[in-house]
Amino acid sequence: MTTCSMITFHRATYDDGFGFSCMQAAYKLGIRGRMDYSPQQGVTILAEGEEESLSAFIDWINQHAGLINHFNNQQLNRQPFNYKEFDIYRHTA
């Protein structure tokens, strides 16, 4: 069954390629969605996938994100967003 989550956190740095690595992990685990991030707003990930894969993706984030603050994972009780892939969007302004 497809599950949806909204994952938010703040990182110590945003210029280390984490977004690209996160996108690679998402593809490997079959996760679709999007990551929006900026130093001012932090990271917000809308993710969907099988429950086991989504859990593995969240574990991967916790292991690879480096120093993070205010980590929150909220399971969304809604129909899937029907993303086709996993995209990253860096907001600079």
Extract the runs of DSSP E, i.e. beta strands, from 12-63. 32-38, 42-50
pLDDT reading at 53 higher than 90:
yes
Q: Structurally, what CATH architecture does the domain formed by 20-90 represent?
A: 2-Layer Sandwich (3.30)
pTM of the model: 0.91
What is the pLDDT confidence band of residue 63, given thresholds at 50, 70 and 90? very high
Which pLDDT does position 18 carry in this prediction? 92
Of residues 50, 42, 36, the one with CA closest to residue 87: 36
Alpha-carbon gap, residue 89 to 91, rounded angstroms: 6
Q: Could you tell me whether strands 32-38 and 86-90 are parallel, antiparallel, or unpaired per DSSP bridges?
A: parallel
Q: How many CB atoms lie within 10 A of CB 26?
A: 27
pLDDT reading at 93 higher than 70:
no
